[in-house]
Chains A and B, each alone.
Chain A
Amino acid sequence: MANMVKNKLVVHTHHIGSHFTNGLMPVAALFITLYFITGDRNFESASFYCIVLAMLASPPVFFSGFIDWLTRFQGRSTRIFNHKRLFGVLFMLVSILLVAWRIMRPEVAAPSSDLRYVYLAMVYVDTGFATYLGYLGGKFI
């Protein structure tokens, strides 16, 4: 019974956390796009904070998913699980990179920055990873 409760807790942590990241990343992409269009710095800040929250949510999502895979799915290796692991790691890495970069260079997305389009592309790519992970997760429902 205690095991069943623990398993449910793990599953729910994974579902709640993954909806969190899947909700935040498209908003981060939308806000950074609006910043590029309007130049309003508030959009850039909003985008950054969305990425920070998604980054913070990603380790619990990853590890609860990993435990769920080991228990309910008996650690079986299939294409879906391999992709979930790979893209989960990539999502965390790109999120950490984006946050670290923005902290070290607050003007990274500013019009004066040479690398602003690289930053923008990374936000889009990270959003793509989150969306793909959400798509894979949807196959389990």
Chain B
Amino acid sequence: MRTRERKDLERKIEALVIAIPREVDSRDFYMKLAEEYPDQASKEMFSFLANQEKQHQDMLERILADLEEKLTKLP
């Protein structure tokens, strides 16, 4: 039962470890576009999207920290 729980946690952690750099890459992508576009409306839209990705990244990092803590507490 414990092994199953450990494996389950490890799979979730692995998913988040893969997902976080995707959010970082997306944020970089939107930030680059925000810099490239000269008009204010485009800048605001891409900055908004970049900010959304940053929020996702922060959220995923919080969940990852929780899961890693749970894993260390497993007997």
A-side interface residues toward B, CB under 8 Å?
A: 4, 72-73, 76, 78-80, 139-140
A72: nearest chain-B partner, CB-CB: B21
Question: Told that A78-B13, A79-B10 touch, could you supply 9 new A-B pairs with CB distance under 8 A?
Answer: A72-B21, A72-B24, A73-B17, A76-B17, A78-B14, A78-B17, A79-B14, A80-B14, A139-B18
B17: nearest chain-A partner, CB-CB: A76
* B28 contacts partner chain A, Cβ-Cβ < 8 Å: yes
Q: How far is the CB of B75 from chain A (nearest CB, A)?
A: 20
Q: Per DSSP, are chain A's interface residues mostly helix, strand or loop, or mixed?
A: loop
B32: nearest chain-A partner, CB-CB: A4
B21: nearest chain-A partner, CB-CB: A72
B-side interface residues toward A, CB under 8 Å?
A: 10, 13-14, 17-18, 21, 24, 28
Q: Per DSSP, are chain B's interface residues mostly helix, strand or loop, or mixed?
A: helix
A141: nearest chain-B partner, CB-CB: B22
Q: How far is the CB of B3 from chain A (nearest CB, A)?
A: 14
Kindly state the separation between the CA atoms of A79 and B10 in the bound complex, as whole angstroms: 8
B24: nearest chain-A partner, CB-CB: A72
Please give me the 5 A-B residue pairs with the lowest Cβ-Cβ distance, nearest first. A78-B14, A72-B21, A76-B17, A78-B17, A140-B18
Kindly state the separation between the CA atoms of A24 and B21 in the bound complex, as whole angstroms: 29
Instruction: Name the contact of A80 in the complex, choosing from B18, B21, B24 (C-beta under 8 A).
Output: B18
List A contacts of B18 (CB < 8 A).
73, 80, 139-140
B10 touching A78 by the CB < 8 A rule?
yes
List B contacts of A80 (CB < 8 A).
14, 18
Kindly state the separation between the CA atoms of A79 and B17 in the bound complex, as whole angstroms: 11
